[in-house]
Amino acid sequence: MSSIPESKEAETTPETEHKIPKKFPWVIPFSCEGCGDCVEACPTGSITLVDLGKKVDKAWITSPDTCIGCGKCASACVVCAVQMTEYVEKALTRYREHPTPE
């Protein structure tokens, strides 16, 4: 009989060797207005504004392995371009495979 861990916070992966958060930021680049409030709110520096050669830089999780899933970036975003998702593994894969939103 297998048991499911109560909290994903206690799980670690060999790749990151840190706790996996229960939720993870999901950035919607189309909605981002480039204000940088999310960047200022992030305590780990995991989210930055990325220059895509357009009028407005876009927020992106450029250091997914340092994100602690606190949600401060999502709370700071007034246009809701950063949402917290429970699909943590999918989000981690997204940011690891795509260093920019394009």
CATH number reported for the structural domain that contains residue 35 in this entry: 3.30.70.20
13 in any annotated domain: no
**For residue range 25-46, what is the model confidence (pLDDT) as tens digits?**
999 999 999 999 999 999 999 9
Q: Domain range holding 32? A: 19-97
Contact 58/50 with Cβ under 8 angstroms? yes
42 in any annotated domain: yes
102 in any annotated domain: no
88 in any annotated domain: yes
Mean pLDDT (the chain, rounded): 87
**For residue range 50-77, what is the model confidence (pLDDT) as tens digits?**
999 999 999 999 999 999 999 999 999 9
Q: What is the pLDDT of residue 102?
A: 80
Q: What percent of the chain has pLDDT over 70?
A: 82
85 in any annotated domain: yes
Nearest to 60 by CA among 86, 85, 36: 36
Nearest to 83 by CA among 8, 91, 100: 91
Cut 0.85: pTM above it: no
Contact 44/64 with Cβ under 8 angstroms? no
pLDDT classification of 22: cutoffs 50, 70, 90: very high
12 in any annotated domain: no
Q: What is the pLDDT of residue 21?
A: 92
Total number of domains constituting the chain: 1
